[in-house]
Amino acid sequence: MSSHIEVSGTGQASGVPDVVRLRVGVRCEADDVSTALSDTTRRSAGLAQAARDHGVEPSDLRTTDTGVQPRHDREGTTVVGYTAYQNLSVAVRDPGRAGSLVAAFAGAVGDALTVDHLGLELADPAPLLARARDAAFADARGKAEQYAALAGRELGKVRTLTDVVQGGPQPRMALMAARATDGFVELGENTVTATVVVRWDWK
């Protein structure tokens, strides 16, 4: 008989996201490149200022991309103007203010505003991951103890323990109770998963 038993265990832990990450931007059209770019630059500055005015730290603002493209007529042969754009990633660390922030963006840049993405994140997933690891090890030990009882054996010392790397926090399909926001988003919960493989000696 083998001198050891090896089993895997999986554990999960969940928490309410505390960061709303927005990808917003401006898109401006003009007859020439210079006007399209200058209008976009001016409006983008207003977008960033609105974020700062609503308590967003400079470190939570990042320009992600910018550019300008020609616009063609219906036949696709003649350039009839240009569209310039610039996008900004904004981390909102008070989810309850996300809706008022987007309203401020709309007030700052008007119809040029674009909102391309909204993500819900955990600022620090480490405590949840620690809880998930605790649950994973407990799951592995429970399995090992069951098998030991079935085999009429007793567990000895842990010989090896392997942490199986999983992905980052994932949104749960079923939304759980979350703290109130301004109605702009439903936070739900994010879940982290840990998996371990543990080998015990037999006594």
Domain range summary for the chain, segments of one domain joined by +: 4-16+124-202, 19-121
Q: Per this entry, what is the length of the chain?
A: 203
| Three-state DSSP state, 79 | strand
**CATH placement of domain 4-16+124-202:** 3.30.110.170
Six token digits for residue 137: 């090890």
Whether the predicted pLDDT of 155 surpasses 80: yes
How many CB atoms lie under 10 A from the CB of residue 140?
A: 24
pLDDT at 165: 72
pLDDT at 2: 73
Whether the predicted pLDDT of 201 surpasses 90: yes
Q: Which residues contact 130 (CB under 8 A, 6 or more apart)?
A: none
**β-strand partners of 91:** 21
The Cβ-side half-sphere exposure at 141, using a 13 Å CA radius, reads 10
Whether the predicted pLDDT of 175 surpasses 50: no
Average pLDDT over residues 87-96: 93
User: Any idea what DSSP says for residue 54?
Assistant: T
Which of 48 and 189 is assigned the larger pLDDT?
48
pLDDT at 174: 32
Residue 142 pLDDT level (bands cut at 50, 70, 90): very high
Distance from C-alpha of 43 to C-alpha of 38, rounded to nearest angstrom: 9
Average pLDDT over residues 102-130: 92
| Three-state DSSP state, 191 | strand
pTM as predicted: 0.71
How much of the chain exceeds pLDDT 70, in percent? 90
**CATH placement of domain 19-121:** 3.30.70.2970
Q: Which residues contact 188 (CB under 8 A, 6 or more apart)?
A: 16, 17, 120, 171, 172, 175, 176, 178
Question: For all residues of the chain together, what is the average pLDDT?
Answer: 88
Whether the predicted pLDDT of 1 surpasses 90: no
Average pLDDT over residues 70-96: 94
Residue 171 pLDDT level (bands cut at 50, 70, 90): very low
Average pLDDT over residues 156-180: 61
CA distances from 152 to 21, 38, 137 (A): 54, 79, 22
By the 8 A CB rule, do 125 and 132 touch?
Answer: no
Nearest one of 21, 50, 48, 39 to 85, comparing CA atoms: 39
How many CB atoms lie under 10 A from the CB of residue 37?
A: 19
